[in-house]
Amino acid sequence: MAICQRCAAEKDIYLPRLVTLEKKRLMNPTEMYIRLSFDESEPFDFIPGQFVEVSVAGIGEAPITVSSSPTQKGYFELVVRRIGNVTNAIHRLRIGDKVGIRGPFGQGTYPTEEAKGRNIVFICGGIGLVPQRSFVNYILDNRADYGELTVILGTKCMAQRFFHSELDAWSHRNDIKFMETVDEANDCWLGNVGVVTTLIPKIEAELRSALVFICGPPIMYKFVLLALNEAKVPHENIFLNLERKMKCGAGKCGHCQINNFYVCIDGPVFRFSDLSIAPEAI
């Protein structure tokens, strides 16, 4: 009986469930926001940091991290970057179209329980805001459970920014410190100019007692970690999102294997101190 139950559970991870596209919005030239809901009134429970495999019939599937908070019920949100056949097909979907969903996947998630009562700092680069947004909004929806909240975001240029109204709302709240920078500015930009690490010296006081979560392009990690090392942030207080290395979601293809780790199973969120045996992960 136990073997049969295990087989059934394993089978379920390969069986997509149908969801319907409720909303879509092009956020910048390459990123599309989509909102999906299940056809049946079945629960979709996930933890910030987990991802789903989105499949388009006849084309394939792609791993995409959930961007909305688990506190939002009845639907979930994704942001899809157009980089291949599957993601291009998702961009072409119309309202009411259906896609398949497998998941949620990932045992390495944002530590929602461990973080309670702690100060939290998010360091985001470009599309790295998307998975972090899930935990940020979860904290805002459970604000009394967490300490001070700081979010810093670096984007290449104004044209690549997204979630404009949401970021504006964050900047006007008194229970979150939000700072933003762009690498390349025009005359309309009044904020900081430079890469995201130029903002780190401005939050050194917050960093000393905080849990720090990093997500962004691969090149960003090295320099952010150097800056955090200079700020004497303990490695066990730093968490990295390595979702860029994932493929199948079930640890079968080996695409995301890093030494003994499978990003899709053991991650995609890792404590930095746990990656000391796998320096090639960064």
Question: What pLDDT, on a 0 to 100 scale, did the predictor assign at position 278?
Answer: 73
Peptide bond before 104: cis, by omega within 30 degrees of 0?
A: yes
Which CATH number among 2.40.50.140, 3.30.70.890, 3.40.50.80, 3.30.1050.10 corresponds to the domain 119-281?
3.40.50.80
pTM of the model: 0.92
Topology classification of domain 2-105: Elongation Factor Tu (Ef-tu); domain 3 (2.40.30)
What's the pLDDT score for residue 1? 43
Q: CA nearest 117: which of 135, 136, 137, 144?
A: 144
Domain limits of the chain? 2-105, 119-281
Could you tell me if 82 and 30 are in contact, meaning their C-beta atoms sit under 8 angstroms apart? Answer: yes
Mean pLDDT, 10 residues at a time, over the chain (282 residues)?
42 84 94 92 88 96 96 95 95 97 94 97 96 98 98 90 93 96 85 92 90 95 95 96 78 82 90 83 74
Q: What span, in angstroms and rounded, lies between the C-alpha atoms of 13 and 80? A: 22
Tokens 């972090």 correspond to: 132
Give the pLDDT confidence score for residue 6 in this predicted structure.
Answer: 38
Are residues 123 and 135 in contact, defined by beta-carbon separation less than 8 angstroms?
no
**What value does the CA radius of gyration of the chain take, rounded to a whole number of Å?**
19
Measure CA of the first residue to CA of the last residue in the chain; give whole Å.
42
Question: How many CB atoms are located within 10 Å of the residue 99 CB?
Answer: 21
The b-or-e profile of 125-143 (16+ CB within 10 A means b, else e) is bbbbbbbbbbbbbbbbeee
Query: Contact 7/18 with Cβ under 8 angstroms?
Result: no
